[in-house]
Amino acid sequence: MTLELHHLRIPFLSSEGSAIWNQHLVFESGKFYHIHAVSGKGKSTLIQTLYGIHKEYHGEMHINQKPIASGDLTHWTALRSQVLGIVFQDLRLIPELTVLQNIELKRNLNPVYPKEHVLNMLAQLGLEKKLRQACKTLSYGERQRVALVRALSAPFQFLFLDEPFSHLDRKNIERAITLIDTEVRKRSAALLLADLEVDSYFPYHQKLSL
């Protein structure tokens, strides 16, 4: 599966010197990509555009060489249900719901794994004792891990991660990397990780500067 960007640009952002804005790019299943951007360059805007929730852009996006119209809500809903996974920078968990409720709310729409596998992923990230706690009572790093398991519990062929490790210590970063790598490779999916730093978390096929 491929995701193509045909001269994608955002009206209020400069594309000068960018390896992404106003370029022709192809992201392929089974490959890992790193997107580096300093603050203010539109990193989160890019991720939200690729996920179909930021619609103020010029250019085109194609999935498997077929264009996706920005206003085609039915198509975008289907893509987010089956093809596109995401961890937002601001996570977008429901604070009053428990860890398990936040994950099950998403997973039950399109179950990929049984609940037991979800519990195993939570345990791998050290959250097995937090299942019934409201997310608003967790640290930000714990919430990042919940958002990650929520994304990995749903179908995807492209996984977008926006600063997924910003509040994790080294031990939890290593745990998260192992889990992400396993789940992405299991599905032969593509990973797009956007960050403020140049990192070597994964064996990236391509590194791009926004």
Question: What would the pLDDT profile of 87-113 be if each residue is shown by its tens digit?
Answer: 999 999 999 999 999 999 988 888 888
Report yes or no: 89 and 163 within 8 Å, Cβ to Cβ: yes
Query: Phi first, then psi: what are they for 80, rounded to 5°?
Result: -70, -25
Q: Which two tokens stand for residue 116?
A: 């037991």
Q: Which two tokens stand for residue 15?
A: 């594309």
Fold for domain 2-209?
Answer: Rossmann fold (3.40.50)
Among residues 121, 123, 122, the alpha carbon closest in space to that of 183 is found at: 121
Query: How far is Cα 129 from Cα 51, in angstroms, rounded to an integer?
Result: 32
Q: How many CB atoms lie within 10 A of CB 176?
A: 22
Question: What would the pLDDT profile of 34-63 be if each residue is shown by its tens digit?
Answer: 999 988 889 999 999 999 999 999 999 999
Mean of the pLDDT values across residues 148-172?
97
**pLDDT at 10 (0 to 100):** 95
Q: Band of the pLDDT at 161, cuts 50, 70, 90?
A: very high
Report yes or no: 127 and 146 within 8 Å, Cβ to Cβ: yes
